[in-house]
């Protein structure tokens, strides 16, 4: 797990989780969109400074609106160590095809869009 | 030729804002009832949309980020969801109206009842989105839509009394038989139409589709500087020619045939053929713009892959959204509702959608994280702030004016 610089940082960038992480687009290593940061999971060792353990992606936004704690295995989590870089979007080190968060996209591709003639052809 | 086609995005975007089916009729109604005394609103609207579409285009060129992505980033999930709800419904209602508009135009051309054409129009819009490249789509719809310039030609051919025209534009003389609130209802309606949010959604997403980069800042300026003023000119031409033909006869314009008839009177059968081609291209263009905008906004809010540069299978949610929207539009029209009335009701949503769309654009256009050193200058910021105030006032006034005047009747 990558250690974030202690705050206030002497060098590097200070991030505001609310401004720079929440609701930011998450892209894979080819800059293809994966999802949006819906929430963050923090952890702290022995009562020390909290650190980001996971980004929570996708549908977790519902519990941010309505409150409550969805069971953890329902959440689409992304370990913080898979984050490669941050600018206006969150860049991951992984390829989106390895991720479960896009299951609905896969399902629609297989059962709906891929079955309509021309769905797998480039536009001309 | 390619150089001239580079502004097709701006032209197609402007068609959706100034001469879509709702605007075609509204402009003619305003012309017949108020002459050119609301021309100033069109000018104010053109300047507003030029400023904000330029900022949205600049953000794309420098950061690659489309407008609804930055709306969610800046407003947070909740307020952005409110905006998404309002903007999406507004765009979907407009899409419904445009498909109805295509059907009405085909009815004028063929004499066959519009109900049969609704299915044809829906299929045609879907096929273009499904199969045709973005650049082809924007060039064809944008250029053919420019045929509407025959309205401007007709205005000159019909020969207005120039002294009277100048008086109308400058003096705002009272309109006998019109309640002052009705005048202000149309002020807000015309301004709201010029600034409809789906224009910036479509313009910014189109810029991403065309892969704008840092070198395209000039292209952004050209697109907004040519596209929107042209759209404004077309809408003035419609109002002007409607005034010359319908105002002396005290006719209340309410149908598409009354909108196009002044061109027939001025330019004969050829003019009528050209104007019908123009109306067909404009409603088709606006249908494409709104259908795509439904997909763009939802996909950008949710972080799904989107865009016509992908094959449909690579952006499945985006295409499913568009298909569902087209089916809803088709279903609503099948009930026999008047498509032109549908656009009037979309104004209800502008109170939420307009401020929550334009404020984040202004904020991000000043954020070095997105635009580097190209942040707005003080003049652009001052103008944009003034417009933000106008937008809020107009958006808040829209609903009470709509109720008090009974939709301007």
Q: Is residue A88 part of a domain?
A: yes
Instruction: Please tell me the distance from the alpha carbon of residue B339 to that of residue B96, in angstroms, as a whole number.
Output: 7
Six token digits for residue B174: 């009272």
Instruction: Please tell me the distance from the alpha carbon of residue B81 to that of residue A46, in angstroms, as a whole number.
Output: 38
Chain A residue with Cα closest to B64: A88
pLDDT in single tens digits along all 124 residues of chain A: 566 555 555 567 788 888 889 999 999 999 999 999 998 989 988 878 888 999 999 877 777 777 777 777 778 889 999 999 999 999 999 999 999 889 999 999 999 999 999 998 888 7
Give the H or E element holding residue B111. none
Cβ separation B303–A35 shorter than 8 A: yes
pLDDT in tens, B257-281: 999 999 999 999 999 999 999 999 9
Q: Does B40 touch chain A (CB under 8 A)?
A: no
Asked if B289 and B101 count as a contact pair (C-beta separation under 8 A), the reply is: no
Q: Give B114-117 contacts, CB < 8 A, sequence gap 24+.
A: B115/B334, B115/B336
Q: How many CB atoms lie within 10 A of CB B166?
A: 12
Domain CATH number, residue A80? 2.30.30.240
Task: Supply the pTM of this predicted model.
Answer: 0.94
Tell me the fold of B2-405: Hydantoin permease (1.10.4160)
Q: Which of A38, A108, A123 sits opposite B320 (nearest CB)?
A: A108
Asked if B291 and B325 count as a contact pair (C-beta separation under 8 A), the reply is: yes
Asked if B238 and B253 count as a contact pair (C-beta separation under 8 A), the reply is: no
Q: How far is B255 from chain A (nearest CA, A)?
A: 37
Query: DSSP states of chain A as a string?
Result: -PPPPPSSPSSS----IIIIITT-EEE-TTS-EEEEEEEEEEE-STT---EEEEEEEGGGHHHHHH-----GGGSEEEEGGGEEEESSSEEESS-GGG-STTHHHHHHHHHTGGGSTTTTSPP-
Cβ separation A65–B81 shorter than 8 A: yes
Crossing angle between the packed helical segments B217-246 and B197-209, to the nearest 10 degrees: 140
Cβ separation B305–A105 shorter than 8 A: yes
Q: Is residue A117 part of a domain?
A: no
Q: Average pLDDT in the B159-171 region?
A: 85
Chain A residue with Cα closest to B314: A109
Asked if B308 and B292 count as a contact pair (C-beta separation under 8 A), the reply is: yes
Q: Is residue A39 part of a domain?
A: yes
Six token digits for residue B59: 């953000």
**Structural domain boundaries, residue A56:** 17-94
pLDDT in tens, B321-363: 999 999 999 999 999 898 888 887 787 788 889 999 999 999 9
Q: Is residue A103 part of a domain?
A: no
Cβ separation A33–B132 shorter than 8 A: no
- Mean pLDDT over each residue of chain B, to the nearest integer: 93
Q: What angle do CA B277, B146, B210 make, to 5 degrees?
A: 115
Asked if B65 and B213 count as a contact pair (C-beta separation under 8 A), the reply is: no
List residues in chain A touching B: CB distance below 8 A. Answer: 18, 22-26, 32-36, 38, 57-58, 61, 64-65, 87-89, 104-105, 108-109, 112-114, 116, 118-124
Q: How far is B319 from chain A (nearest CA, A)?
A: 8
Does the pLDDT value for residue B283 go beyond 70? yes
Least confident of A26-30, A42-46, B28-32, B289-293: A42-46
Instruction: Please tell me the distance from the alpha carbon of residue A78 to that of residue A81, in angstroms, as a whole number.
Output: 8
Q: Is residue A102 part of a domain?
A: no
Instruction: Please tell me the distance from the alpha carbon of residue B237 to that of residue B149, in angstroms, as a whole number.
Output: 8
Instruction: Please tell me the distance from the alpha carbon of residue B320 to that of residue A66, in angstroms, as a whole number.
Output: 27
Q: Which of A22, A33, A109 sits opposite B313 (nearest CB)?
A: A109
Q: Is residue A78 part of a domain?
A: yes
Chain B residue with Cα closest to A35: B303
Closest CA to B138 of B288, B24, B238: B288
Q: Which residues make beta-bridge pairs with A76?
A: A57
Q: Which of B63, B72, B73, B305 to mutate to test the interface with A (most CBs of A within 10 A)?
A: B73
Q: Is residue A40 part of a domain?
A: yes
Q: Which of A34, A108, A120 sits opposite B311 (nearest CB)?
A: A120
Give me the phi and psi of B304, to 5 degrees please. -85, 155
Q: Does B65 touch chain A (CB under 8 A)?
A: yes
Collapsing DSSP to helix, strand or coil, B213 comes out as: coil
Q: Which of A24, A61, A122 sits opposite B311 (nearest CB)?
A: A122
Instruction: Please tell me the distance from the alpha carbon of residue B88 to that of residue B94, in angstroms, as a whole number.
Output: 10
- pLDDT confidence bin for B115, thresholds 50/70/90: confident
Asked if B272 and B70 count as a contact pair (C-beta separation under 8 A), the reply is: no
Asked if A28 and A85 count as a contact pair (C-beta separation under 8 A), the reply is: no
Distances from the Cα of B166 to the Cα of B171, B176, B364, angstroms: 8, 19, 40
Instruction: Please tell me the distance from the alpha carbon of residue B401 to that of residue B409, in angstroms, as a whole number.
Output: 11
Q: Which of A18, A112, A124 sits opposite B131 (nearest CB)?
A: A124
Q: Does B184 touch chain A (CB under 8 A)?
A: no
Q: Which residues make beta-bridge pairs with B378?
A: none
Domain count, chain A: 1
Six token digits for residue B264: 């027939």
Q: What is the ipTM of this complex?
A: 0.88
Residue A19 has a pLDDT of: 86
């Amino acid at each position: 797990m990558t250690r974030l610089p202690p705050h206030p940082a002497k060098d590097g960038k200070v991030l505001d989780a609310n401004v720079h992480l929440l609701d930011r687009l998450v892209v894979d290593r080819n800059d293809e969109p994966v999802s949006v940061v819906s929430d963050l999971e923090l952890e702290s060792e022995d009562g020390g400074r909290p650190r980001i353990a996971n980004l929570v992606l996708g549908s977790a936004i519902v519990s941010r609106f309505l409150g409550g704690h969805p069971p953890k295995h329902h959440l689409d989590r992304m370990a913080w160590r898979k984050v490669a870089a941050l600018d206006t979007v969150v860049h991951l080190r992984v390829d989106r095809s390895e991720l479960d968060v896009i299951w609905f996209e896969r399902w629609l591709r297989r059962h709906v869009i891929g079955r309509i003639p021309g769905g797998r052809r480039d536009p001309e | 030729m390619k150089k001239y086609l580079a502004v097709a995005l701006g032209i197609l975007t402007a068609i959706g804002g100034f001469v879509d089916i709702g605007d075609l009729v509204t402009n003619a109604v305003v012309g017949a009832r108020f002459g050119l005394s609301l021309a100033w609103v069109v000018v104010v609207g053109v300047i507003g949309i030029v400023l904000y579409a330029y900022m949205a285009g600049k953000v794309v060129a420098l950061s690659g980020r489309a407008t609804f992505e930055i709306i969610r980033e800046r407003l947070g999930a909740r307020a952005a969801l409110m905006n998404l709800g309002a903007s999406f419904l507004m765009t979907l209602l407009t899409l419904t109206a445009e498909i109805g508009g295509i059907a009405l135009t085909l009815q004028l051309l063929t004499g066959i009842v519009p109900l049969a054409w609704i299915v044809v129009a829906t299929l045609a819009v879907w096929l273009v989105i499904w199969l045709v490249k973005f650049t082809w789509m924007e060039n064809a719809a944008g250029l053919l839509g420019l045929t509407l310039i025959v309205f401007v030609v007709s205005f000159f051919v019909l020969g207005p009394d120039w002294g009277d025209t100048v008086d109308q534009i400058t003096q705002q003389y009272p309109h006998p038989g019109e309640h002052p609130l009705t005048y202000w209802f149309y002020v807000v309606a015309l301004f709201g139409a010029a600034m409809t949010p789906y224009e910036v959604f479509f313009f910014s997403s189109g810029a991403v589709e065309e892969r704008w980069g840092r070198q395209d800042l000039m292209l952004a300026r050209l697109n907004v500087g040519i596209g929107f003023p042209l759209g404004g000119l077309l809408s003035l031409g419609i109002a002007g020619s409607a005034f010359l033909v319908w105002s002396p006869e005290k006719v209340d314009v309410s149908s598409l045939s009354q909108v196009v008839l002044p061109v027939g009177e001025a330019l004969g059968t050829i003019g009528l053929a050209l104007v019908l081609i123009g109306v067909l291209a404009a409603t088709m263009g606006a249908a494409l713009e709104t259908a795509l905008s439904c997909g763009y906004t939802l996909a950008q809010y949710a972080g799904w892959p989107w865009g016509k540069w992908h094959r449909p299978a690579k952006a499945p949610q985006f295409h499913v959204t568009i298909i569902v929207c087209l089916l809803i539009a088709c279903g609503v029209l099948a009930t026999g509702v008047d498509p032109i009335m549908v656009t009037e009701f979309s104004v209800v949503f502008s109170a939420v959608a307009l401020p929550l769309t334009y404020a984040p654009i202004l904020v991000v256009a000043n954020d070095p994280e997105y635009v580097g050193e190209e942040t707005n200058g003080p003049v652009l910021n001052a103008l944009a702030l003034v417009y933000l105030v106008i937008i809020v006032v107009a958006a808040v006034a829209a609903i009470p004016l709509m109720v008090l005047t009974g939709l301007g009747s």
